[in-house]
Amino acid sequence: MPEPEIYRFSPISRLLRSAPSRIDLARKSVELREALQAAFDASGADVLSLDVFDTLLLRDNQSEARRFWELSKLIRKELIDSKAHPRAAALSVEDFLLARVEGMRVSYRTRKPVKTCCEGVLDDVTKIARRALGLSASVDKHFIATEIVYEASVLAINDAVLDLARAVKAKGGRVVLVSDMYLRGEHIGAILEKVDSGAAKIVDHIFSSGDLVVSKRAGRIFREIERRLELGPSAFFHIGDSLLGDVSRPREAGWSALHFPVSDAEAQAREADVAAFIDEMHALGLNVSDWAKV
Amino acid sequence: MLDKTQATDAPYEFGYRKLGPVVADYCARLLAHALSFEREQDGKVLFVARAGVRIRTALEAFAATAEIDLPTRADYLWASRLMVAKGVWRRSRARALQVLGKEFAYAPLKDFVAAMFRHEGLPRDLDLNDPALAQRASNLEAFFASGGPAARAVDQHLVEQSELFDAYIAKLLGDHELALLIDTGWQGTAQSMLDEAFPDVTWWGAYFGRFSTDATDKRGWSRMIGVVTEHGQFDPAWPESCVVLHRHMIEHLFQPTGLSIERLAPGADGVISSPEAASVLLDKVDRENSPMFAGVLDYLAKLPDGVGPAALRARAHTEWRNIARAVVLPSKDDVEVFADITRSADFGRSIEVPLLLPTRNRHRDDSPEARVRDSLWHAGQLALEYPQEIAQPMQRKIAGIGRGDLSEKQKPARKAAREQAGARPKVAIITRTLDRQIFLKRALASVASQTFTDYVHVVVNDGGDNDAARETIEAASVDLDRLLLVDNVVNRGMEAASNIAISSCDSDFIVIHDDDDTWEPTFLEKTVSFLESSRGRHYDGVITRSTYVSESVTPTGIVTHGSGPYNGWVETVHLHEMAVQNFFPPIGFLFRRSRYDAIGGFDERYPVLGDWDFNLRFLSESNIAVLPESLANYHHRDRGDTAIFGNSVIADRHKHLEYSAVVRNNLVRYLSERGRQAEASMIGLGILLGEERDLGRRTVQKLDALVGGGAMPAAQHVGVVHHGSHNADAMWIATQRLAQIIARGDVVALAEVGLASDPRDIRQRVMRILARVVGLARPIFAATDADLSKTPQAIAKLVALHRDPYRAMPPPADFDEIRYLRDNPDVATAITRGELTSGFEHYFYNGRQEGRARPSR
């Protein structure tokens, strides 16, 4: 009787999960580049659709909560240094942090829904946070500019995905970025420009839920993109790190999709970081465990 | 005796030191919402008076000290819940009736009528001593349909009030399409009424807290924001959730003096408002009259702990912990702070209810326990009634907390989103498949929907088309990293397939998820959590309850015909019971790999019933626990042609019969070989007793069939449309009555209607189906003439059992009770006099013969 045979799926995903660093892997691995190219070619798609954060732009091992704190520190410093508002110096980094978190919470929950989707947007987050801190509208531009500078400083280009994007463009295809993010498309473009101006040049369109309100997560952004580009679902090949928003939902919409997961080592480091962050905030009398995420 | 100043010191201090910081944090968060709605969404901010008056006062005090903006276009909405119910009368009569009916369900009609006219006084010609108004106000529909003088007067009042309310809302909102209601809480009843009555406006609510009960209308729930807490029950990790246990603390704090807002009227200038508004705006807040709120305002005027969000939140967090301790585990001293508080019953009633009851007997049968039950703050009453060593354990029990749960040392915990990398997965899910892509696709979706994700999913293709299986898997929306496909190349049988798949991976736990079955999303989460709990460590396996799903495969896909509990009587798993029959399906069974290894896995010699043999050997060595939730779906193609897609239990009946003896014989040998002859003998006896017991179960199933009128058990027919014919009505009455008889355990009545020859014999069986029949709020059974023809005598006898306590029953879903009562005011009057229980009862027994129409919904 013949022996049973075992098949494993998704070699790219397994390669990524086992990598100590996806940034290094994307920089060095020929295997990853070839596999991405082969997957795109096999799909028969014309448009390469890329998730942005943790896909085209790779994050370091800091948790989201820690990044928010670091950003809050920078915004406070910027307001003090630029003398944008005299009250800034009297406020703590944690004041800025909690104001921002409340801004995110209110914006995401209360923004007018589109096709039953609710998404936050940076402009609203900034206004809500600024008001909670007793600051004037003149500081809004400092908040947003600092956020763009900070994000660019903690992101690295994904060389393997960028190579694929270049190859697609070279063959006459299109490259679009699709992000579930409170940042507007123009903010995402500004960040990409700062990280890698060459990469920014090959992008044809940026679609952000911050602008459109409909999202990948809810699965409603895909039809909107098809409508805007006047293409059918089979024209798209999407890559992203979220199993739900970047794989399941696009596949349900008829797109080809490839999972580009965060590596296990990176996920572990972020878990450890968020746990440490919660402890640090607890020591200051703040319970942030309801919102602090990896 | 305390003098006035001393008596107000403790509440003032509580207000200043404890409530002040938490209200400051609340104000900061509320302002963030209010300003965002006003400025980003052009919304109208409405402080719902009365509580809105004090909330606005607090907000203004906070904003002034913190130097933060306030909404510039805010207004008051002068409306209590009663006023809103009156206000939506013309637009949403049914909803208004529902809210009013709930409030007055246990009061006489005269109280309801009086409440409607509390402030303006009764119309001159209205006599509250009318005997008709002595009836309970439990059926307001009947009251209005009766058209009596009181009903006409109330209806006229409600129509007038709702006309005024329309104009009032239109003026208040102007061009705004969104409104934010600011109030204390908790279930957004007024908001949900406004939602329904004014659908062109998007209504949001920002409440101090939000929590629900089973009866809460949750249609607009996501637009009801609990600014401080949205916890449904007290969670010590979030001490602010203590308001769930003592919402009166917050309601009392924000309740101004002045009259409740229950009517609108045009002023001399033609502006519509509430005549009572002026009394509320005169709210006197000082240390003598409102010491707790005065303390809060003094704190807000200083904000001594800082004005930044972090400073406010940190101090609030500390004080919430102190408040939670005082609310959840109060001492006598803590209770003193709330000693003189009374709460208004509102809704047009002038009753004041003390928060805590005096510790003396109110009547001959009174007791401390009864006073605790009747008080508005159970933990507080416990502190008054009992010494601390007795009170505190009971207070903990009420709050559902352990000894260390309110400790200051408790640190916030975060559940890791994923397990340690590189560790072996917790669960191996084994799916056996053989050229059934339509089922495999569904099984993959079932696994992918699990809330617990630390698993490896092994699909074993037992000799089928492997390319097709691969394509199905690759096209599915699943995490392919977690998936293995084992190609057996040739068919090796179900048990061999399981063993091969299990040996191809590693895990702590194993579960067989056949390709045609499905799970509810929390199956793995609940079962793994149980086996990893301290209680679960005593078990090597756990099952959940299962649902039997009847389905067939058609050219257009899988069609479900019905579903219901599969062996719903299972509460425990006995080896002897398992020897009688294999009573749970593999889809509901998670077990430890260590036990699987110890008993040598599945016996590959069985063409069928290998899982039964496995379960018996498993139980011979270990135990299996039962989780009461039904989280596994056991699918059967039990209709039409079962040859192609049939389950082995349906399509291979003869093999099942043959091997049922083999399985049992092997069990006896298995035990005997291990020197366990006594157990082997017990098994034999158990099988005999089990057969006898099964006879009883089959009798019950016949009863079920009678109740349901079909092949599926009665409880599974919920949701099936009532047909509206006289036979269907008769069947409805019969089934309702049977359910009542069973719920009462009335074996005499059961024998009377011919459903049991010996009342004593039926009692045990009745209890078994009790769980399946009761608890259905309004079961709707399919009923056809053909069904009736099967059991005409029993149906006729049940229909004829038209006497107390079996007279009252809910009308069937398709019977328009309101319209029937409206069209037949004599019937409505008879109901208010207690001569009939419903319009439907009248229609069925009299109205039909009298030629009255049967109104359908």
Q: What is the pLDDT of residues A104-128, one digit of tens each?
A: 999 988 887 776 667 788 999 999 9
Interchain CB contacts (distance < 8 Å): A and B: 155
Contacts of B748 (CB under 8 A, 6+ apart): B759
Q: Report which of residues B731 and A83 the model is more confident about.
A: A83
The answer as to whether A5 is a domain residue is: no
If asked whether residues A254 and A117 sit together in one domain, one would say no
Q: Is-contact A2 B490, C-beta < 8 A?
A: yes
Q: Is residue B125 scored above 70 in pLDDT?
A: yes
**E strands along B611-736, which residues?**
624-637
**pLDDT at residue B418 tops 70:** no
Q: For residue A127, give the nearest of B40, B311, B411 by CB distance.
A: B40
- Nearest alpha-carbon partner for A67 in A274, A242, A282: A274
pLDDT number for residue B399: 86
pLDDT at B114: 93
Rounded CA gap, B857 and B813, in Å?
8
DSSP B795-826: HHHHHH--STTSS--PPPTTB-HHHHHHH-HH
Q: How many domains does chain A fold into?
A: 2
Question: Where among A153, A186, A221 does a domain terminate?
Answer: A153
B255 secondary structure, DSSP code: -
**Does a structural domain hold residue A177?**
yes
Which DSSP symbol is given to A209? H
Whose CA is closest to B332, among B383, B382, B392? B383
Q: CB A288 to CB B39 under 8 A?
A: no
Interface test with B, best of A106, A249, A260 (most B CBs within 10 A): A106
* Residue-range domains of chain B with CATH: 356-399 (no CATH), 427-675 (3.90.550.10), 702-814 (no CATH)
Cβ distance A106 to B36 less than 8 Å, yes or no, reads yes
Q: Which helix (H) or strand (E) holds B36?
A: helix B20-40
Q: How far apart are CA A240 and CA A181, in angstroms?
A: 13
Task: Tell which residue, B417, B457, B403, B404, has the closest CA to residue B433.
Answer: B457
CA distances from B290 to B15, B254, B791 (A): 10, 10, 70
Give me the phi and psi of A181, to 5 degrees please. -155, 150
Average pLDDT, stretch B681-701?
A: 66
CA–CA gap between residue B674 and residue B155 (Å, rounded) = 82
Q: How far is residue A80's CA from residue B757's CA, in Å, rounded to a whole number?
A: 91
Q: In whole angstroms, what is the distance from residue B480 CA to residue A261 CA?
A: 11
Mean pLDDT, range B70-83, rounded to an integer? 95
Residues A121 and A221 in one domain: no
Nearest CA in chain A to B36: A128
Identify whether A101 is part of a domain. Answer: yes
A93 and A26 in one domain?
no
Shortest Cα distance, chain A CAs vs residue B36, angstroms: 6
Please name which of B708, B688, B836 lies closest in space to residue B780, comparing C-alpha atoms. B708
Positive or negative CA dihedral for B44, B45, B47, B53? negative
Task: Single out the residue of B491, B488, B495 nearest to residue B514, CA to CA.
Answer: B495
A127 to chain B: which residues are within 8 Å by CB?
36, 39-40
Q: Tens of pLDDT along B604-654?
A: 999 889 999 999 999 999 999 999 999 999 999 887 655 556 666 555 667
On whether both A73 and A162 belong to a single domain, the answer is no
Cβ distance of A102 and B309 shorter than 8 Å: yes
pLDDT, tens digit, for every residue of A59-73?
Answer: 989 999 999 999 999
pLDDT of residue B289: 87
ipTM metric: 0.91
pLDDT in tens, A160-176: 999 999 999 999 999 99
What is the span of the domain harbouring residue A172?
19-55+157-265
Where is average pLDDT lowest: B112-121, B188-197, B713-722? B713-722
Q: What is the pLDDT of residue B785?
A: 31
B417 touches chain A (CB under 8 A): yes
Residues A44 and A85 in one domain: no
And the tokens for B553? 């495969």
Q: Is the domain of A170 the same as that of A242?
A: yes
What mean pLDDT, rounded, does chain A reach?
A: 94
Stretch A193-202: mean pLDDT, rounded?
A: 96
Co-location of A124 and A254 in the same domain = no
How far is the C-alpha of B397 from the C-alpha of B80, rounded, in Å?
34
Q: Is A134 within a domain?
A: yes
Would the CB atoms of B474 and A103 count as touching at under 8 Å? no
Residues 6+ apart with CB under 8 A from B566: B545, B546, B547, B548, B584, B585, B634
**Is residue A174 classed as helix, strand or coil in its secondary structure?**
strand
Mean pLDDT of chain B: 85
Q: Pick from A87, A131, A264: which is nearest to B35 by CB?
A: A131
CATH number of the domain at A189, please.
3.40.50.1000
Tokens standing for residue B579: 């020897």
Query: Does B805 sit behind a cis peptide bond, omega within 30 degrees of 0 on the bond before it?
Result: yes
Q: Do β-strands A47-50 and A236-240 pair in parallel, antiparallel, or remain unpaired? A: parallel
Are residues A51 and A75 part of one domain? Answer: no
Distance, in Å, from the CA atom of B637 to the CA atom of B639, rounded to the nearest integer, reads 6
Domain final position from A103, A138, A153 = A153
A190 and A258 part of one domain: yes
Which residues of chain B lie closer than 8 angstroms to A102, CB-CB?
29, 32, 309
Q: Are A26 and A75 within one domain?
A: no
B468 touches chain A (CB under 8 A): no
Does B61 contact chain A (CB < 8 Å)? no
In a domain, A202, yes or no: yes
Closest CA to A26 of A58, A60, A49: A58
CA distance A105 to B99: 32
Residue A113 C-alpha from the chain's centroid: 21
Q: What is the pLDDT of residue B772?
A: 43
Three-state secondary structure call for residue B740: helix
pLDDT band at B12 (very low <50, low <70, confident <90, very high): very high
Residues A140 and A126: their CA atoms lie apart, in Å, by 6
SS3 at position B742: helix
Residue A149 within any structural domain of the chain: yes
Structure tokens at B177: 């399409």
Confidence bin at B773 (pLDDT 50/70/90):
very low
Interface residue B489 vs chain A (CB under 8 A): yes
Please check whether residues A229 and A137 belong to one and the same domain.
no
Contact between B502 and B601 under an 8 Å Cβ cutoff? The reply is: yes
Phi and psi dihedrals of B377, rounded to 5? -130, 95
How far, rounded to the nearest angstrom, does the alpha carbon of residue B783 sit from its chain's CA centroid?
A: 29
Q: Name the residue with tokens 């917790």.
A: B426
pLDDT band at B760 (very low <50, low <70, confident <90, very high): very low
Per-residue CA distances from B676 to B670, B673, B690 (Å):
9, 7, 21
**Do A2 and B307 make contact, defined as CB atoms within 8 angstroms?**
no
Q: Per the CB < 8 Å rule, is A285 touching B36?
A: no
Yes or no, beta carbons of B480 and A132 under 8 Å apart: no
B125 touches chain A (CB under 8 A): no
- Encoded amino acid at A57, one letter: L
Q: Which residues contact B45 (CB under 8 A, 6 or more apart)?
A: B34, B37, B38, B71, B73, B74, B75, B179, B180, B182
Same domain, A244 and A121: no
User: Would you state the pLDDT for residue B818?
Assistant: 82
The values of phi and psi at residue A43, to 5°, are -75, -25
Does residue A288 lie in a domain region?
no
Stretch among B331-335, B719-723, B778-782, B814-818 having the lowest mean pLDDT: B778-782
Contacts of B527 (CB under 8 A, 6+ apart): B509, B511, B542, B544, B590, B627, B631
Q: How far is A198 from chain B (nearest CA, A)?
A: 33
Q: Is residue A282 part of a domain?
A: no
Collapsing DSSP states into helix, strand and coil, what is residue B565?
strand
Residue B347 tokens, joined: 């809704």
Tens digit of each residue's pLDDT (9 = 90 or more) over B498-542: 999 999 999 999 999 999 999 999 999 999 999 999 889 999 999
Residue B621 and residue B599: Cα distance in Å, rounded? 8
Q: Which two tokens stand for residue B402?
A: 């352990």
Which domain-ending residue is among A98, A121, A153?
A153
